Amino acid sequence: MNGINKNRRGRVAHQRLRSRLDAAMAVAGVMVTVCSIQPAYAKRVPQQDMTPYVVRADDSLYTLADRYMQSPADWRLLRAINHVANPRRLQVNAHLSMPTSRLRQTLLTARVVAVRGSVDKLGTAGAPPMPVSAGTLLMEGDEISTGRDAFVSMLLPDGSHVVLPSSSQIRIGRLRTTLLTGAVDRQFDLKQGEVATDVTPFKNPRDSFRVITPSVVAGVRGTRFRVNYLATQDATTVEVLAGKIGVDGAGPDGAANRTSAPQPIQGGAQTLVLAGYGNLTRTGDAAGASVRLLDPPEIADPGKLQNAPQVAFDLTPVDGAGAYRTEIATDADFLDLLRDQRTTGLHAAFDNIPDGNYFVRVSATDTHGIDGLPQVFTFSRHLDTTNAAATPIEGNGYAFRWHVDGEANGARYRFILSSHADLSAPLIDLLDVSGGEMSVAHLSPGKYYWTIVVDTFENGRLLSIPSEIRSFTQTR
């Protein structure tokens, strides 16, 4: 009996020991599991672009997140990325990695410096468009549209210029700076027409400047270039006048309609376009090959005074040109555009140009629609308002009459009559003719040429404005 009880006690003790061992194993298993879990601040973080930061005195993860990150709670993200044990205590001169996508950014503004014609800022959610004038401030998200023969120039905070010619539409996709690095991010989404840029060379390696159309993503690092979205061809032309840019195909879904920066076409090689070259890219295709820009045309007699009702220019032909472009501006950089005309012929004419001094820029366009290199000339515009006329009188003579402008201060009138079309070897050349009328009698048979020259002072210098050279034939 004692042996039986003894065996029972042994089995119970064995069971108790086994239970204790199982419990110990279970606890050990939990301990192993707990030890295999890393602290929250050491968890795996997805690969992303990082901005380096060198720790300064009095820095902590809390102050860094509050100062440079999008949210004060981002200290946890900084702790996880950098495996920081104590977020309050950082070693001075230690190197931290700051996730670029979470860095705090400040919105910038672009200032309108010149406007011609009808330029509107398009409203959202059915709101009516608002007219844009010089001095208007534009910011990220604003969409600008120019009407026919309308132009607008914008000045960015770094001194870069963006010019939108007529019949164009653009959205400011991004215009901001990163607080920690000072990097400036600029993106313009061209939805219609053309944009010309003069980008100040970058001072910060993280600066970016992009022009996006449904066909291309054009990224630059300080250059002068033009981008033109040809809606009828569903293609984009790029022309580089200075520096160089990288052009990627933007894909078939229309990059200009995206709210975030588009990605280049998968597998598509970037085309590097240098100064003096351009390319054509169709929507959905990889970036087109680089082609040399056409040389600019010349203007026949560019220095002649533009005094006719129309301001007109005759261009010289350029091999390979399918069209020509003539632009007029009040400044040499063409930030204040007045007119922009494309012609298939060599003659360009413009109505309603006020008197003044101007710049004209001419270029040839190849058969693919890529504009060539430009050439700029100066010219003066003074409309002939003399309304001169000649009437036969008795005695084989003519009476010559012209309008005297009473508002022209100190204007003097000169009468020239010659038997040569270029008015050389004049038969009569009279200065200070007053009254707006004079007669000449006893003219021999023959053909005669005459004009009225208005001498006036402008900005302290003498300006001679000839009227149209007229002619008549004396038959008896």
The mean predicted confidence, pLDDT, of the chain is 86
* Cross-strand pairs, 190: 170
104 CA to centre of own chain: 27
- In the CATH scheme, what is the homologous superfamily, with its name and number, of domain 389-474? Immunoglobulins (2.60.40.10)
What mean pLDDT is predicted for residues 250-271?
52
pLDDT of residue 160: 94
pLDDT, tens digit, 9 for 90 and up, residues 381-419: 988 888 899 988 887 789 999 988 766 667 889 999 999
Residue 469 reports pLDDT greater than 60: yes
- The closest alpha carbon to 238, from 174, 166, 169, 290, belongs to 290
Angle, helices 61-68 vs 75-82, to 10°: value is 120
Residue 466 reports pLDDT greater than 50: yes
pLDDT interval class at 259 (50, 70, 90): very low
pLDDT of residue 205: 87
**15-19, 202-206, 458-462: least confident range:** 15-19
pLDDT of residue 360: 98
pLDDT of residue 169: 96
Q: Domains of the chain: which residue ranges?
A: 1-37, 48-102, 108-292, 311-381, 389-474
Residue 63 reports pLDDT greater than 60: yes
* pTM exceeds 0.85: no
pLDDT of residue 464: 82
pLDDT of residue 266: 45
Q: Which amino acid is at 133?
A: S
Q: Between these two residues, 72 and 460, which has the higher pLDDT value? A: 72
**118-132, 300-314, 344-358: least confident range:** 118-132
CATH number of the domain located at residue range(s) 311-381 in this protein: 2.60.40.10
Inter-CA distances, 27 with 20, 21, 23, 30, Å: 10, 10, 6, 5
How far is Cα 278 from Cα 372, in angstroms, rounded to an integer? 8
pLDDT of residue 124: 74
pLDDT, tens digit, 9 for 90 and up, residues 93-121: 999 999 999 999 999 999 999 999 999 99
pLDDT, tens digit, 9 for 90 and up, residues 304-336: 889 889 999 999 999 999 999 999 999 999 999
Domain 48-102 class, CATH top level? alpha beta
Residue 41 reports pLDDT greater than 90: no
Residue 267 reports pLDDT greater than 50: no
CATH number of the domain located at residue range(s) 108-292 in this protein: 2.60.120.1440
Domains 311-381 and 389-474 alike in fold: yes
pLDDT of residue 456: 80
Contact assessment for residue 129 and residue 169, using Cβ atoms and an 8 Å cutoff: no
**5-19, 141-155, 381-395: least confident range:** 5-19
